[in-house]
Amino acid sequence: MTPYDSPADWIRNGFAHKVKSADDIMRAIGRVGTLQVGRRYVWRGVANCQWRLQSSLLRDLILKGTPGSLIAEDDVRLRELALIRAARSWGICKELGAAATDLQVLATLQHHGAPTRLLDVTSNPMTALWFACERTTSSRDTSGALMAFDVTGLDVLATAAHELPATWGTVKDPLGWHLENALSISYEKAVPFLVRPSYPDQRMVAQEGLFLTGAVPDGLNARGIDGLPLDQADAPGSKALNALFAPESRKAGRPKKLPFVVLVIPAALKRKLLPHLESTYNRSYRQLFPDIAGFVTALRAGNLNLDSH
């Protein structure tokens, strides 16, 4: 067993609240969003609450590494640079010319399923909730998780060179510098940063997508979060979360801030929520994956009713 093998136990660690009804989840989303004026949150939904919060690149390195060993920032960065070089030699983002920074290449690779350090997040909680309730073969009977990240004050990096400061061209490696600099700051201050796609395609626009990432912190984070420097010094705790999400008017004892919180959604509730998300909030395969690849994915997953056509 490796240090990363145990599943995340969000509730026991004081970072999660289990909802029981549609009213519960909608109230909880509203309570997070209105906890304090001026706070900004991004959201991420996963269909299985036991999945650890890991980037696909870190997960790939863990699976290929020596059992029992930790993956450090140097390991991730080494593989990342090799991936970027290989992608450039393949011609990825060649059409963008000098606008194709290393971060633009990573964003493109992430969008097409390659392992990168970027985590997909969205500014729309209903989109993230749809992903938490999504019908998949492996997670139909598992609880989902809706995650909220407080990103107030975090740096936001655009992916294309034309959106960078005018001084970017004076550095030795202009296409790689702004990612390298952001990672250096992230490692030193132990904070993540947001990435905003400069060339969002149909899918990114539909999902209101962003990326959350950062340098891999030193040591093991045993709370189900790996490779992301999140502020987890003080978990809200179940008592404070119960006070925040209670059906009654907001009670004393609720947390003053929520750097990170998880809403656990039972499998039966996921099935009940999906029709509402599709009809009321227009969150569906067709809306969120409007490209050809999305159509094929929905077809293979059995989520298209061909009889109706």
Query: Would you state the pLDDT for residue 167?
Result: 59
Euclidean distance between CA atoms 110 and 221, whole angstroms: 24
Please return the burial class of 72, using the count of CB atoms within 10 Å of its CB with bins 0-12, 13-18 and 19+.
middle
Q: Which ranges of the chain would DSSP assign to H, the alpha helix?
A: 22-33, 56-64, 73-90, 102-111, 125-133, 174-189, 202-207, 238-245, 267-279, 285-288, 292-300
Euclidean distance between CA atoms 45 and 53, whole angstroms: 11
Residue-by-residue pLDDT tens, the chain, 309 positions: 456 655 667 888 888 999 999 999 999 999 999 999 999 999 999 999 988 899 999 999 998 887 778 899 999 999 999 999 999 999 999 998 878 899 999 999 998 889 999 999 999 999 999 999 987 766 678 999 999 999 999 999 999 877 666 655 556 788 898 899 999 999 999 999 999 999 888 888 999 999 999 999 987 665 678 899 987 667 888 899 999 999 887 777 788 888 899 999 999 999 999 999 999 999 998 899 898 888 887 888 777 777 666
Query: Would you state the pLDDT for residue 1?
Result: 41
Of the candidates 160, 50, 55, the residue with the CA atom closest to the CA atom of residue 97: 160
Taking CA atoms, 86 is separated from 81, 92, 207, in Å, by: 9, 9, 28
DSSP code per residue over 156-193: EEESBGGGS-GGGGGSS-HHHHHHHHHHHHHHHHT--E
pTM for the full model? 0.90
Taking CA atoms, 55 is separated from 63, 71, 80, 113, 118, in Å, by: 12, 12, 12, 12, 6
Which residues, 6 or more positions from 204, have their beta carbon under 8 angstroms from its beta carbon?
Answer: 111, 197
Answer yes or no: are the C-beta atoms of 50 and 138 closer than 8 Å: no
Of the candidates 276, 292, 279, the residue with the CA atom closest to the CA atom of residue 133: 276
Q: How many CA atoms lie within 13 A of 94 on its CB side?
A: 8
What strand order describes the sheet that includes 119-122? 16-18, 260-265, 144-150, 41-46, 119-122, 209-213, 193-196, 156-158
Answer yes or no: are the C-beta atoms of 294 and 288 closer than 8 Å: yes
Please give the helix or strand (H or E) that residue 40 lies within, else none.
Answer: none
Token pair of 98 as six digits: 């000098």
Euclidean distance between CA atoms 162 and 166, whole angstroms: 9
Query: Would you state the pLDDT for residue 138?
Result: 65
Answer yes or no: are the C-beta atoms of 108 and 96 closer than 8 Å: no
Query: Would you state the pLDDT for residue 232?
Result: 65
